[in-house]
Amino acid sequence: MSSAKRTPMVIPDRLESRFAAGLKSWEMLLIAVALAVFAVNALASPHFLNPWNLSDATFNFTEKAMIAMAMALLIIAGEIDLSVAAIIALASTAMGLALQFGADTPVLVLTGLATGLLCGAFNGLLVSGFALPSIVVTIGTMSLFRGIAYIILGDQAFTGYPSEFAYFGQGYAWWVFSFELALFAAIALAFGILLHATSFGRLVYAIGNNPTGALFSGIRVARVKFILFLLTGLMSGIAAICLTSRLGSTRPSIALGWELEVVTMVVLGGVSILGGSGSILGVVIAAFIMGMVTFGFGLVNVPGIVMSIFIGLLLIAVIAAPILWRRLRGEGFA
Amino acid sequence: MMARLLKSREALLAGAIALLLALVSWRFPGFVAPENLARIFNDTAILIILALGQTAVILTRCIDLSMAANLALCGMVAAMLNAAAPGIPVGALLALAILTGAALGAINGALVWQLGIPPIVVTLGTLTIYRGLIFVLSGGEWVNAHQMSEPFKDFARAELLGLPVLSWIAFLVVAAMAVLMTRAPLGRAFYAVGGNPTAAIYAGIDVGRTRFAAFTLAGAIAGLSGYLWVSRYAVAYVDIAAGFELDIIAACVIGGISIAGGIGSVGGAVLGALFLGLIKNALPVVNVSPFWQLAISGTAIIIAVVANARAEGRARRIILRKAEVLA
């Protein structure tokens, strides 16, 4: 799905510094957008700066942002997983099913994690085991996973989760900081280290930049991709636990359409959809931007669907802006 | 060689459809009655039309996730105009819906062509924008059957030579697309651009312009479908056809259209859509809960993807083939 380039590829002589500079400027742009959103919100509504309100605001992105961490690695490696929301539905359904058999909170959590891992393994096996394009595979598994949830639940819902279970989605770790936010911070840190400070992270970039080159360098491309799908499944399982706990119920339509929001978050965060570049910091900032926009618009009574227009425009504008800027400065044509 | 493989894919799919029909009719003979088959075809007509638009886009190695949102927006525009001014003839509204759709598709195409933004990102963005615009336009209100004029509602449902107009339009679109894809320079350019963009440039084909044309065509088809959808179901609201973009892509994938571009046929896309439509209509007949439908089409997609990958012939790479798959 890459666009054809008419000009011959330019090989820069100082790759590292230019790369770093490019990344830095992208994150600066994101921070500027985040600050602008924050300032506009604070001016538009007197309730915005209340710490408890801000804490509430984090709930509408933490679960998606957890998945976005793993999705970022997957997209950097040149793959994509559109089944994440369906994994949430299936994991939540599995937990509800376990509940019917009298499972207590630890078993519920294990069920959620195991379902997420299994779904991730299934995706990974199809993509790296059979060398299939991940975009269509995960469109298929997306229907399959949510389909199984529909077969089990139909138009029913699972409710009656134990009160200890509510902590994951409704509890607070310290003062206004929710358990979900703390968990997200820990996950973001872990993924930041994994991507930017380990050899595994370098493999992810190498595969995304040139899969064939990576293969010839002796990287086990298939195995790395499999692990990335496993991680994405695991994160979806964790998100399923948090969301189920927060809502206190499971319906097969739970988290419908989240896959697009997660991908938007990742791309907005500066991860190239073609693979090979991006950073965890960018995705974290993008998650906060999306959360603040949604919350701020909510405070001034803008309906959710109008916010989605803004998110869509933001997605295209943030990608188009650097291209237009480069063109204006006459640095060649894309 | 490739043509033979493709033919076998279509034969395979036609065989699967025949088998499905045979299995269902073994217990429920009424299912294969001509009038029931005609009803199923009519029920699948919009999916067929949309799948053909998506086929053009996928052939050029792009993807359009905004088709269902485009459909809903054009349907709402037509419905609201009809409710506000019932005097406007249906033909004019139909033309307006197609033009609006083409314009929305052209926006996708222009962003891909002129700015080089990956199609999946562009259409992910415009999907939410178009869907949101429906809300802005309608204020979240529904346009109900009683607000629509009779000719507006009757158009898709009127019968002509024993078949609803909707079915005839599907036939017309299939025929037009078949001619375009196999006989017209533009259709061949779709294949060339998707098959090998670099070679296409050397052959004198403008890759960006061809992709722009594919997106505009898909948009026009979504606009046409928008009017047909609203006319057939006699209702327009923000969420019509929500999630349908994935059904459209599923129909294409099942029909053997390669997501990597350049491979696929009109016949395949039609059969892919018919296969999905048949499952949807057969489930209630064989007394399986409709909740099974999603899982079944998901399984069908996965099987189709595996089959597509084999048909695409991965034999080209000889060195290190084993290392590509999981050891």
**In the predicted structure, residue B38 carries a pLDDT above the cut 90:** yes
Cα–Cα distances (Å) from B189 to A278, B186, B266, B313, in that order, read 34, 5, 15, 22
Q: Looking at the complex, does the CB of residue B259 fall below 8 Å from at least one CB of chain A?
A: yes
Asked if A142's CB is within 8 angstroms of B132's CB, the reply is no
What local confidence, expressed as pLDDT, does residue B318 receive?
Answer: 41
Asked if B246's CB is within 8 angstroms of A143's CB, the reply is yes
**In the predicted structure, residue B79 carries a pLDDT above the cut 50:** yes
**Cα(B73)–Cα(B63) distance, integer angstroms:** 19
**Cα(B306)–Cα(A137) distance, integer angstroms:** 9
**Cα(A6)–Cα(A333) distance, integer angstroms:** 9
CB nearest to A1's CB, from B119, B125, B289: B119
**Cα(B30)–Cα(A133) distance, integer angstroms:** 40
What local confidence, expressed as pLDDT, does residue A100 receive?
Answer: 93
Identify the CA nearest to A192 among candidates A278, A83, A273. A278
CB nearest to B301's CB, from A6, A139, A226: A139
- Tell me which DSSP letter residue B143 carries: B
**Cα(A204)–Cα(A196) distance, integer angstroms:** 10
What local confidence, expressed as pLDDT, does residue B313 receive?
Answer: 57
What local confidence, expressed as pLDDT, does residue B160 receive?
Answer: 85
- Tell me which DSSP letter residue A172 carries: E
Q: What is the mean pLDDT of each run of 10 residues along chain A (334 residues)?
A: 50 52 71 86 82 84 96 96 96 96 94 98 93 87 94 91 90 87 96 96 95 92 96 97 95 87 89 89 92 81 81 82 78 50
Q: Which residues of A131-152 are buried (b: 16+ CB within 10 A; e: fewer)?
A: bbbbbbbbbbbbbbbbbbbbbb
Which distant-in-sequence residues (6+ apart) come within 8 Å of B218 by Cβ?
B53, B54, B56, B57, B64, B67, B105
Cα–Cα distances (Å) from B93 to A125, B165, B188, in that order, read 49, 16, 31
Q: Where are the domains of chain B?
A: 2-21+40-311
Condensed to tens digits (0 to 9), the pLDDT of residues B142-177 reads 999 889 988 888 888 888 888 999 999 999 999 999
Length of chain A counted residue by residue: 334
Task: Check if the beta carbon of residue A256 is closer than 8 Å to that of residue A85.
Answer: yes
Asked if A131's CB is within 8 angstroms of B324's CB, the reply is yes
**In the predicted structure, residue B48 carries a pLDDT above the cut 90:** yes
ipTM: 0.81
Asked if B320's CB is within 8 angstroms of A216's CB, the reply is yes
Which one is the CATH code of B2-21+40-311: 1.20.140, 2.60.40, 3.30.710, 1.10.3470?
A: 1.10.3470
Asked if A215's CB is within 8 angstroms of B324's CB, the reply is yes
| Interface subset of B 285-304, CB within 8 angstroms of A | 289, 291-302, 304
Using DSSP, state whether B160 is helix, strand or coil.
strand
**Cα(B4)–Cα(B17) distance, integer angstroms:** 20
Condensed to tens digits (0 to 9), the pLDDT of residues B54-71 reads 999 999 999 999 999 999
Cα dihedral B166/B168/B170/B173 (nearest 10): -130
Which distant-in-sequence residues (6+ apart) come within 8 Å of B134 by Cβ?
B69, B72, B73, B76, B238
Alpha helices (H) along chain A = 15-44, 51-76, 84-100, 105-124, 134-153, 167-170, 179-197, 199-209, 211-216, 221-247, 258-268, 280-299, 304-328
CA angle B108, B64, B140 (to 5 degrees): 80
Q: What is the mean pLDDT of residues B39-56?
A: 96
Name residue A159's beta-bridge partners.
A249
What local confidence, expressed as pLDDT, does residue A273 receive?
Answer: 82
CA angle B236, B239, B241 (to 5 degrees): 85
Domains belonging to chain A, first-starting first, are: 24-322 (1.10.3470.10)
The kind and range of the H/E element at B159 are strand B159-160
Q: Which residue has the higher pLDDT, A86 or B250?
A: A86
Condensed to tens digits (0 to 9), the pLDDT of residues B253-303 reads 999 898 888 889 999 999 999 999 998 898 888 888 888 888 888 898 888
Asked if B124's CB is within 8 angstroms of A264's CB, the reply is yes
